[in-house]
Structure 1
Amino acid sequence: MPASEDGSKARIVAPATIAEGDVGYAVDGPVALITLDRPSAHNALTIKMIRRLAEATDAARQDDDVRAIVLTGAGEKAFSAGGDLGELIPRLTRGELDILIPDPSKRFFSDVFKPVIAAVNGLCLAGGLEILLGTDIRIAADHAIFGVPEVRWGLVPGGGTHVRLPQQIPWAIAMRLLLTGDHLDAGTAALHGLVTEVVPAAAVRERAFEVARGISRNAPVAVRTAKEIAVRALGNESRFALELALNERVLRTDDAVEGPRAFVEKRSPIYRNR
C-alpha cells in the first residue's frame, strides 16, 4: 500500500455505491478516483457514461484540493472496450457527433492540466484507448490488451486517436493499429511507449495511486504548469477539428451502418465501398 503525505498508509478509495452503467467519482486526500462502471459490458461507454465522465472530470478539475486523478474501469477484465455500438453508432451516423465531441477542438482530458494516471485493468479498445491517450501516466495490468479495431467495423476512431497515437508511439506501430485493427499486449504496448509500466493485475490500482500521491507531493502550480506547457505546445486543436471533419465523411457511408450492425448481430460484415 502506498504511503500518504504524512507517512501513513494511504487508503485506496472506492467510489460510492452506484448503479452499473454510470461513472464513479471519489476523492481521497489529494487524489480523485474516476471509475468507468459497466463491467457486465466490459465498461463499454453509453451516452450517459460519456456525459458523466465529463462531469467527473470537471469536478476534479475544479476541486483545489485534488492534485492528481486516477482513472480506471470497474472489475478485472476491462478498462473500457470502447463505445456501445448499439447505442452510439445509429446516432453518430445520423450526424449527431456532438453527443461524443461537443467541442471539435477538444478530446478526452485535452484541457485538463492536473495529471491523469490510468490504471488499465484489462481490455482497452476503441474508445477506451482514445480515453487512455488523453492520460499522462499509464499503469497496465500484465493481461491488458490495447487496440483500435474500428476499421474492421466500417468506422474510424473519432476521439483524437489519429492525432494522438502517432504523437505518442512510432508511426509504423500507430499505422498498424489504425489500419489493421490489430491488438497489442501489455508488454508490447510498454515496449513502444504506449504505457508507462506493466504490473501484476492485483497491483494496478495500488501502483496508480502510488504514482498519483508521489506527484501530489510536488508543488501543484508547477505540476499543472508543466503539463499545460507540454499539452499546449502540441497545438492539437486544429488537428482534432480536421479529424472530426473527415470522420463525418466515414459516418455518412453505408459501410458505417453495416459494420456496427454486423458486430451487434455477431456476423461478418459485407462492405460495399460506399
Structure 2
Amino acid sequence: MVDNPADDTADGDVRLDLSDHVATITIDRPSAHNALTVDMIRTLAAAIDSVRGDDEVRAVIVTGAGDKAFSAGGDLGELIPRLTAGELEVLIPDASKRFFSDVYKPIIAAVNGFCLAGGLEILLGTDLRIAADHATFGLPEVHWGVIPGGGSHVRLPQQLAWPQAMHLLLAAESIDAAEALRIGLINEVVAPDEVMPRARELAQKIAAHAPVAVQTAKEIAVKALGNEPRFNLETALNERVLATRDAREGPRAFIEKRQPRYEGK
C-alpha cells in the first residue's frame, strides 16, 4: 500500500451502512483518491469486525466514494515512514490475517476508478468484483522500493495465472478494466453509473439465499486455501524490505516527484 496520487491530507472516513441484509462499506476520501490514512485503516478494520458479527448482514459491498477511485492505497506520506520505522502493526495487526480473510459473508467490490496498491489488496479479499469501464488496476510498490505486503503475494497467484500475477507484482504496470476482466481479476465491466446498481443487484440476490449455506460454502473455500502460514511468511519478509534504505528512498522520490536512486541495500 503506497500509492497516494494527491497531496491533500484531509481526514477521510470509512462509512458503514446496512439495508435489506446488505452492508455497504465506503472508503470516503475522494479528494485523495480514497487513499487510506492509519485512522481509516483502523476504521475499516472496525467495520469488518462489525459485519462479521452482525447476523443481519448476509452480503457486503465495498466501494470508494466519488467516481474517480475505489482506493489508490495507503496514504504514502503518513503510512510509509511508520512502516519503515518498524510499525508494521499499523497496517497488519495480525500477521496471519489480511483484508477480509476471516469474513465468510460474501463480499462484492464495486470499483469506479483507480484500484491501486492497497486498494487492489482490498479487492483481492473480495469474492465478486464489478468495475467501471474506466477502472485501473495495479501494484506499483516495487517501483517505489517496497512491496505490496497486504496479501498480494499469496492471493494473486491463487486468483490469476502465474505469469499474470507476476506481471502485476514485478513489472508494476497498471492494467485497464478490459484486461482485468480478460485475466479473471474481475467479474464484470459496466458503465460507471451501473457499478453500484449491479453490485446491489448481486448482493440482494445472494442475501435472498439461505445464509448458513452461503456462508458455509465460502468458509470451506477460504479455509481450504490454508493461507494463514502464507500470510505470516509475507509479513516476515516484508519486514526485511522495509528495513532497507531503498524502502525509504522510493517513497521519498515519489513525494519529491523524481526517479528514485536505489542502492540495493
TM-score range, shorter chain: over 0.9
Counterparts of 1:70-85 in structure 2, within 5 Å, are: 70-85=61-76
- Matched with 1:270 is 261
- Matched with 2:19 is 28
Counterparts of 1:240-251 in structure 2, within 5 Å, are: 240-251=231-242
Measured after TM superposition, the shift of residue 20 of structure 1 is 5.3
- The amino acid across from 1:29 in the alignment is D
Q: TM-score with structure 2 length normalisation?
A: 0.95
Identity of aligned residues (%): 68
Specify which of 160, 163, 166 is matched with residue 157 of structure 2: 166
1:259 aligns with 2:250: yes
Consecutive unaligned residues in structure 2, runs of 5 or more:
1-9
How far apart, in 2, do the equivalents of 1:46 and 1:215 lie?
32
How far apart, in 1, do the equivalents of 2:112 and 2:220 lie?
30
- The amino acid across from 2:164 in the alignment is I
- The amino acid across from 1:180 in the alignment is A
- Matched with 2:206 is 215
- Matched with 1:183 is 174
How far apart, in 1, do the equivalents of 2:258 and 2:15 lie?
34
Other structure's SS at 1:79 match: strand
State the Cα deviation string for residues 175-194 of structure 1 (Å, max 9, x = none): 01111100111011011110
Other structure's SS at 1:105 match: coil
1:87 aligns with 2:78: yes
Other structure's SS at 1:71 match: strand
Specify which of 100, 108, 111 is matched with residue 109 of structure 1: 100
- Matched with 2:3 is none
After TM superposition, which residue ranges in structure 1, 4 or more long, deviate above 3 angstroms? none
Measured after TM superposition, the shift of residue 112 of structure 1 is 0.2
Other structure's SS at 1:272 match: coil
Consecutive unaligned residues in structure 1, runs of 5 or more:
1-18
Other structure's SS at 1:267 match: coil
How far apart, in 1, do the equivalents of 2:218 and 2:199 lie?
18
How far apart, in 1, do the equivalents of 2:237 and 2:55 lie?
38
Other structure's SS at 1:224 match: helix
- Matched with 2:147 is 156
State the Cα deviation string for residues 225-245 of structure 1 (Å, max 9, x = none): 000000000000000000000
Q: How many residues align?
A: 256
How far apart, in 1, do the equivalents of 2:143 and 2:254 lie?
9
- Matched with 2:195 is 204
Q: TM-score with structure 1 length normalisation?
A: 0.92
- Matched with 1:131 is 122
State the Cα deviation string for residues 192-230 of structure 1 (Å, max 9, x = none): 110011100110011000000000010000000000000
CA-atom RMSD in angstroms? 0.8
How far apart, in 2, do the equivalents of 1:62 and 1:239 lie?
25
